[in-house]
Amino acid sequence: MNEAKKSGEVLVDEIHVDKDELMRYLNGEIQFTEWKQGQDLMKFFASEDNAPEPTETKDGDIDENASEGSEDEDEEDDDGDAEADQEEEGEEELLDEKDEEYFPPGISTRKGKVGRPRKPRPEQVTPKRPRGRPPKARMPGLTSSSEGSPMTHELRLGREERRLKGKRGFPRGRIRNRVPKDLRGLMGEAHLCFARGSEQEAIKMCLEIIRQAPRCPDPYQLLAMIYEDKDDMEKSLQFSLIVAHLRPRDTEEWTRCAELSLEQDDIQQAIRCYSKAIRYNPKELSNHMERIHLYEQLKDTKKVIECYQILLKALPEDQGEQYMQLAKDLVKTHHQNGDISSAVDILSHAFAKHPKLISSEDVNILAELHIASRHYQQAMQVISDHCGVGVRSQSSHEVLDLEQLSLADRETKQDSVDVEVPDGLPIDLRAKLGVCLIHCKQFQSAKNVISLLMTKDPNMMGDLVLDVAEAYAELGCYGESLPLLQALVETKNYNLAAVWLRYAECLTSLGQLEQSTMAYRQVLQKAPGHLDARIALSSIEQQQGNADVALELLSTGSDEEVAADVQLIWQRSMLLYSKGLLREFTRDSLLLLMAYVNQASDKNVPKRLSGNLGVISHDNWFSLYCKTIDALVKLRQLEEAEALSNTVLVSKRFARESSQQLDVEVMGICVYFLSAKYRRVYEEMRSLLSKHADSAAVWNLFSFVTNLTNDNRHHKFCLRLTLKKLHENIALCILNGHNAMVNGTFKHAIGEYIRGFRQKPNDPFLTFMIAISICHIACQKYTTKRHSLIVQAFAFLKRYEELRGVSQETCYNIGRALHELGLLHMALRYYHKGLDLPPSSDDPRFDLRSELAYNLSLIYRHSGNEEMAIELLSNSVI
């Protein structure tokens, strides 16, 4: 050890620190990464096992004069530490930064020291400096120079670990941040230099003190005063924040920093300062209110509500009036935010906590909140509990619990309660009580309660009368609501469009259409842009048979006004379609449909439209699309129909229901077919069949398209589809059989028909096609066993007749097959039989008498009976 001292080194356990290297680091000649012994020392101190214990001080080492004056202050600091650790958690959530005590960069925060501890010294009191006006510019990089250094990072990690230890119950040492004894003289000289005007000398002295005792707040406070005197308010604020972090329980310093931050328009930093001040002194209500006002400026409603809740918890019990006022302010904020249930809970809690401070205004607010949330029994209970209203059962005359009030029969309107209202009940509470009784279907009691309201001047009490009228109308009691609304529309103050609209709705519900028409026109006169009134009046005019007037109402105004609302255009387009004005209808319907189908990918609705597209149901949109396609086809605007069909298919708007999606695809194919774009039709049909292979309508359409286009490409497509995917599909069996029959390969046709026949042996069409194929084979030149084939064909024909029934169709088909086989006498019999039968339908297309007569005439002409042939042709064909 002596050798180490002689060599100029200090031994700390097993680590040797060179004093020369240490001084070079402190003087800034080398960086921390170049000082190897310092890094080893930091790693040694960072380990918990090697953390040095505070050494016991001897009695002779303590300055008794200093200790007497500082013991009480240290105990207060320790008590403050304990109180700060037990503060409410909700406050910490409002801080935007980590709620940690500030430590200057590069300074160790370890509680223990190596060697003998420094004696406690009496604290030198630095006078508070006055507030000043801050400059606009902010000093950059004041506290950021050492934030990213490795030493700072290691020290902060060690401080965090020790802070967590203290929270787990480990003893925490006292934080001595007073000016050391050997630096107090220098601190005093700095104050004297500042007083003499030697600011640069004072700054140098403060920086030297900070270098040796960086956790002492006095030099930072003096620096803040110096820079404030130099009108450098940015630096002054930064040093003041350091002082506040070093003395976190000085709430006045935090408040002052918040005010300085506001002068520099830094609202977020001001909020953090007020939050710190509230944390260490939650009973200072002015800081709570300032923070609330700042969050209101930022329009952060969630934080405003949280701050109000913290303020209510911090209020002492003896400040009940202030508690009630703050509770009402918080209720107002919740109501504006749409959270009615929270507003009810807060005001109910305030009622329970301060029942003697409840006023009629407070009862009115709570009752209004219950009514807004449709809790009418709870609203009546509030009025009954705090205003002396008595509610008794008519049968037992006992006081009822209004929350258990049973509803009376609406049809008979029999009341189940009697209501006793004191004479001094305010008129607004009386009106709310009447509204609650109406919704509880106690109509007679409601009339007794609101009878006093009816005697008042409607010009003065019109809002209360309107509430009662709307309560009646909501329950469908339009007869009771109508006279109240009629009295309001005759007044001067309530002759408004909203009141006229309610009046017109009541008249319409009562079937008084002429008077309701006049009322709606009053609404449009007072509010020309009221779309609901315009649409309702148009519907009434249409019901009365005035379609032209209804159309004029929907077309009144400038183009911008007409095309502004979705509902208005919808109503007008339906009216145009019903009148057959297809060209005008397509103009409106295309505007609506393009906005609807493009809304999925583009949220920006065209400027010509306004309103919510969701007010029109999905089924109505599909109906509008079908009508628009039909109108475009009738107008031969096929290009517009193609564009609309492609847009709808791409948007997938009607894909939620498979039936609607199928209809959209089929209509698109039909539009392409009418445009003679057969290649596109064939491609769309292939895609459609892969998705809807079980739909008979799709297969029928495919067969129709291929027959009209005379395209043989579908033969291979059907075969591939049969071999790969749809082995047992009956429609494919029939199509493959037809294709083979057209190509003359009747055996293959019979094979395909037989595959379908095995699945449906009672299908008359398959039975008939098998019989026809066998007939074609029997008629070939080199066919063997011809008689056996004819017998089989005839057997299938008879089975076909049994399944289909005796009709013109069966007689013609069997006769035609026998005619082909050369069995003329048997064919003659079936042709005559078909001529004697009536048609199977009233549609002339299904009358086969001309076809039967023509074939029969061929047989007669072949036998030489020309006269009979001419007679048949004259009677049935010509």
Q: What are the residue ranges spanned by the domains of the chain?
A: 84-109+125-172+180-282, 382-455, 806-878
At 203-225, the pLDDT tens digits run 999 999 999 888 899 999 999 99
**Averaged over 353-373, what is the pLDDT?**
88
pLDDT over 90 at 709, yes or no: no
List phi, psi (to 5°) of 431: -65, -40
pLDDT over 50 at 107, yes or no: no
Nearest to 672 by CA among 684, 664, 663: 684
pLDDT at 177: 67
pLDDT at 130: 41
pLDDT over 60 at 176, yes or no: no
**Averaged over 253-258, what is the pLDDT?**
92
Residue 437 and residue 380 in contact, taking contact as beta carbons nearer than 8 Å: yes
Compute the distance between CA of residue 299 and CA of residue 190 in angstroms, rounded to an integer.
Answer: 46
At 570-582, the pLDDT tens digits run 888 888 888 888 8
What six digits make up the tokens of 175? 């934080």
Q: Which residues of 815-846 are buried (b: 16+ CB within 10 A; e: fewer)?
A: bbbbbebebbebbbebbebbbebeeeeeeeee
Compute the distance between CA of residue 721 and CA of residue 37 in angstroms, rounded to an integer.
Answer: 83
pLDDT over 80 at 802, yes or no: yes
User: What three-state secondary structure class fits 147?
Assistant: coil
At 535-544, the pLDDT tens digits run 888 888 878 8
At 447-491, the pLDDT tens digits run 888 888 888 888 888 889 999 999 999 888 888 889 898 888 888
For helices 251-263 and 267-280, give the axis angle rounded to 10 degrees. 170
pLDDT at 815: 92
Compute the distance between CA of residue 656 and CA of residue 129 in angstroms, rounded to an integer.
Answer: 72
Distance between alpha carbon 824 and the CA centroid of its chain, in Å? 79
pLDDT at 546: 80
Top-confidence residue, 46 or 463: 463
pLDDT at 401: 56
Residue 595 and residue 573 in contact, taking contact as beta carbons nearer than 8 Å: no
**Averaged over 358-386, what is the pLDDT?**
88
pLDDT over 80 at 105, yes or no: no
pLDDT over 70 at 92, yes or no: no
pLDDT over 70 at 53, yes or no: no
Compute the distance between CA of residue 183 and CA of residue 191 in angstroms, rounded to an integer.
Answer: 13
pLDDT at 773: 92
Residue 771 and residue 817 in contact, taking contact as beta carbons nearer than 8 Å: yes
pLDDT at 104: 38
pLDDT at 562: 43
Return the DSSP state at 409: P
Compute the distance between CA of residue 520 and CA of residue 505 in angstroms, rounded to an integer.
Answer: 9
**Averaged over 551-557, what is the pLDDT?**
69
Same-fold call for 84-109+125-172+180-282 versus 806-878:
yes
What six digits make up the tokens of 121? 């010294």
pLDDT at 17: 59
Count of CB atoms situated within 10 Å of the CB of 854: 15
Return the DSSP state at 17: E
Compute the distance between CA of residue 785 and CA of residue 797 in angstroms, rounded to an integer.
Answer: 19
Count of CB atoms situated within 10 Å of the CB of 666: 18
pLDDT at 764: 92
Compute the distance between CA of residue 334 and CA of residue 633 in angstroms, rounded to an integer.
Answer: 56
**Averaged over 31-43, what is the pLDDT?**
66
Burial of residue 739, with CB atoms counted within 10 A of its CB: 0-12 exposed, 13-18 middle, 19 or more buried:
buried
pLDDT over 80 at 168, yes or no: no
pLDDT at 166: 39
Compute the distance between CA of residue 357 and CA of residue 386 in angstroms, rounded to an integer.
Answer: 11
Which position has the token pair 């309560």?
471
At residue 94 the predicted structure's pLDDT band, cuts being 50, 70 and 90, is very low
Distance between alpha carbon 774 and the CA centroid of its chain, in Å? 68
**Averaged over 80-108, what is the pLDDT?**
40
At 420-441, the pLDDT tens digits run 888 888 888 888 888 988 888 8
What six digits make up the tokens of 638? 């096929």
Count of CB atoms situated within 10 Å of the CB of 89: 6
At 513-522, the pLDDT tens digits run 888 888 888 8
At 740-773, the pLDDT tens digits run 888 888 888 898 899 889 988 999 999 999 999 9
Compute the distance between CA of residue 316 and CA of residue 294 in angstroms, rounded to an integer.
Answer: 24
**Averaged over 804-812, what is the pLDDT?**
91
Mean residue pLDDT across the chain = 76
Top-confidence residue, 21 or 288: 288
Percent of the chain with pLDDT over 70: 75
Return the DSSP state at 271: H
pLDDT at 26: 64
pLDDT at 813: 92
CA atoms within 13 A on the CB side of 655: 10
pLDDT over 90 at 145, yes or no: no
CB-based contacts of 500, cutoff 8 Å, min separation 6? 489, 519, 522, 523, 526
0.75 cut: is pTM over it?
no
pLDDT at 141: 33
Rounded (5°) CA angle 550-556-558: 155
pLDDT over 60 at 99, yes or no: no
At residue 80 the predicted structure's pLDDT band, cuts being 50, 70 and 90, is very low
Burial of residue 164, with CB atoms counted within 10 A of its CB: 0-12 exposed, 13-18 middle, 19 or more buried:
exposed
pLDDT over 80 at 726, yes or no: no
User: Ranked by mean pLDDT, which of 407-421, 716-730, 853-867 comes out on top?
Assistant: 853-867
Span of 43-57, 236-250, 583-597 with lowest mean pLDDT:
43-57
pLDDT over 80 at 240, yes or no: yes
pLDDT over 50 at 803, yes or no: yes
At residue 396 the predicted structure's pLDDT band, cuts being 50, 70 and 90, is low
Rounded (5°) CA angle 594-598-601: 175
**84-109+125-172+180-282 carries CATH number 1.25.40.10:** yes
**Averaged over 593-605, what is the pLDDT?**
65
pLDDT over 70 at 409, yes or no: no
pLDDT at 16: 59
The H-assigned helical ranges of 197-300 are 199-212, 217-229, 233-246, 251-263, 267-280, 285-297
At residue 619 the predicted structure's pLDDT band, cuts being 50, 70 and 90, is confident
Span of 326-340, 604-618, 676-690 with lowest mean pLDDT:
604-618
pLDDT over 70 at 262, yes or no: yes
pLDDT over 90 at 511, yes or no: no
Residue 249 and residue 80 in contact, taking contact as beta carbons nearer than 8 Å: yes
At residue 172 the predicted structure's pLDDT band, cuts being 50, 70 and 90, is very low
**Averaged over 230-245, what is the pLDDT?**
90
**Averaged over 717-723, what is the pLDDT?**
77
Percent of the chain with pLDDT over 90: 13
Q: May I ask the CATH class of domain 806-878?
A: mainly alpha
**Averaged over 134-155, what is the pLDDT?**
36
